[in-house]
Chain A
Amino acid sequence: MTTDADVSLEAGFDATIARSERIEPRDWMPEDYRRTLVRQIAQHAHSEIIGMQPEGNWITRAPSLRRKAILLAKVQDEAGHGLYLYSATETLGVSRAELTDLLLAGKQKYSSIFNYPTLTYADVGTIGWLVDGAAICNQVPLCRTSYGPYGRAMIRICKEESFHQRQGYELLMTMMRGTDEQRAMVQESVDRFWWPALMMFGPPDADSPNTAQSMAWGIKRNSNDELRQRFVDMSVPQAEALGVTLPDPELRWNEERGHHDFGEPDWEEFMAVVKGNGPCNRQRIEHRRRAHEEGAWVREAATAFAAKQRAETERAEVAR
């Protein structure tokens, strides 16, 4: 039943969105808006957490102490980004424990890019350049998203992503100045990651049924295809400066459009990975589950210690 009060609440919400003001946690919001945000922010948080694995794979084998320190800092950032985003999701009335359970049960998703393996050390550089580069394209407009806590988390994240992208590009530049073998390693890595990076923006607009509503609510600011185009246009001169070839025979500048034309990603592959059949889906979730279970005793010990401290404080106060 819709009452007059509901109508006025909804009108208030719509007016806030229309003024491009932010919705804050204690404001009334339509249930679908809340649900869409929980799904999107949780998926984003899970991506950061799962995203630690592909690069974490190389920490112990980084070629120098400098590279190891950089990689450690980067992977720690990903954990931090996950926490900023879980924190934003919790303002919508879900708990982090719930979200973790949903991830482990496969009921919430994370970005499909993290289901690809990191086969060589060059992949650390390519992920920084292309994967974090694509993430930046996606995330910069989200700093202005209509939900306040999400936008504020994105601002923090974007500041840090810039370090991620630059360290990756610098790593690749260093390898390109090395031996023929190292240059071949960079090219091979770029060949593997280019198309999955393009898929990070999601399906084509025509097949993205939620986009229109998300844009009307100001949650998303640009469509998938717009952001994909922006990413291609940004990446082409970066690839030239690096001296690598992007693996797309249809890629060329279109004077008339003022943009690069490019080929179609393999959307069947995309759907297969999203549905759980990518190269590393099972491994990623299995690893996450193991880490969560093996960390249980640490959480329990901290809880027990806190309870003991509290009891001692109370005893001391009684004695006084």
Chain B
Amino acid sequence: MSARASGASPMSTEWPLYEVFVRGKRGLNHVHVGSLHAADDEMAVRHARDVYTRRNEGVSIWVVKAADITASSPDEKDPLFAPAGDKVYRHPTFYTIPDDVPHM
């Protein structure tokens, strides 16, 4: 592929899109913050630092090509999430405990 990212370049030759995840501080998960374009993985990390962490917003950055992400499709929303709906016993509120039992 002769990728050129010049002036009126068509969409297909644009630098790939990366999704950016930042760990806000130790003890927290990485959280999705947005996306950016970069020529390669290393540049994506550098750009992510400049674009998304100019004010100490993070201690660690993950980048991943958007094309490599597999997502649940909204069309499948019901079947995919439905099993959780009829398993109410997975939630603490399913169980009735008298109010006077402490620390429950």
Q: A292-B7, A302-B43, A303-B5 are in contact. Are A83 and B14 (CB under 8 A)?
A: no
A90 touches B35 (CB 8 A): yes
B4 touches A303 (CB 8 A): yes
Check B65 for interface membership: any CB of A closer than 8 A.
Answer: no
Q: When each residue 282-298 of chain A gets 1 if its CB lies under 8 Å from chain B and 0 otherwise, what string results? A: 00000000001100100
The residue that A83 contacts in the complex, of B5, B11, B51, B74, with Cβ under 8 A, is B51
B51 touches A84 (CB 8 A): yes
Check B64 for interface membership: any CB of A closer than 8 A.
Answer: no
Chain A residues closer than 8 Å to B51, beta-carbon distance? 80, 83-84
The residue that A299 contacts in the complex, of B15, B34, B36, B71, with Cβ under 8 A, is B15
Chain A residues closer than 8 Å to B74, beta-carbon distance? 26-28
Give the complex CA separation of A309 and B43 in angstroms.
Answer: 12
Give the complex CA separation of A305 and B43 in angstroms.
Answer: 11
Count of A interface residues, CB-CB < 8 Å: 35
Chain B residues closer than 8 Å to A299, beta-carbon distance? 5-6, 15, 39
Chain B residues closer than 8 Å to A190, beta-carbon distance? none
Tell me the smallest distance from the CB of A34 to a CB of chain B, in Å: 14
Check A77 for interface membership: any CB of B closer than 8 A.
Answer: yes
B39 touches A96 (CB 8 A): no
Give the complex CA separation of A77 and B11 in angstroms.
Answer: 26
Give the complex CA separation of A224 and B104 in angstroms.
Answer: 51
Q: When each residue 3-41 of chain B gets 1 if its CB lies under 8 Å from chain A and 0 otherwise, what string results? A: 111111111001101000000000000000111110110
A87 touches B4 (CB 8 A): no
Check A98 for interface membership: any CB of B closer than 8 A.
Answer: yes
Give the complex CA separation of A306 and B5 in angstroms.
Answer: 12
Check A97 for interface membership: any CB of B closer than 8 A.
Answer: yes
Q: A76-B54, A299-B5, A310-B40 are in contact. Are A153 and B34 (CB under 8 A)?
A: yes
Check A317 for interface membership: any CB of B closer than 8 A.
Answer: no
Give the complex CA separation of A26 and B71 in angstroms.
Answer: 10
Give the complex CA separation of A299 and B35 in angstroms.
Answer: 18
Check B73 for interface membership: any CB of A closer than 8 A.
Answer: yes
Check A268 for interface membership: any CB of B closer than 8 A.
Answer: no
Chain A residues closer than 8 Å to B11, beta-carbon distance? 95, 97-98
Q: A77-B54, A306-B40, A310-B40 are in contact. Are A300 and B6 (CB under 8 A)?
A: yes
Give the complex CA separation of A293 and B14 in angstroms.
Answer: 15
B39 touches A90 (CB 8 A): no
Since A80-B50, A293-B7, A303-B3 are in contact, a sample of 12 more A-B pairs with Cβ atoms closer than 8 Å, ordered by chain A residue number, is A76-B54, A83-B51, A84-B34, A95-B14, A96-B14, A96-B37, A152-B34, A292-B7, A296-B7, A300-B5, A302-B39, A303-B5
15 intermolecular pairs with C-beta atoms under 8 Å apart: A26-B73, A26-B74, A77-B54, A87-B36, A160-B55, A292-B7, A300-B6, A302-B39, A303-B4, A303-B39, A305-B39, A306-B40, A306-B43, A309-B40, A310-B40
* Minimum-distance CB pairs A-B, first 9: A306-B40, A306-B39, A299-B5, A302-B39, A296-B6, A95-B11, A87-B34, A87-B35, A97-B14
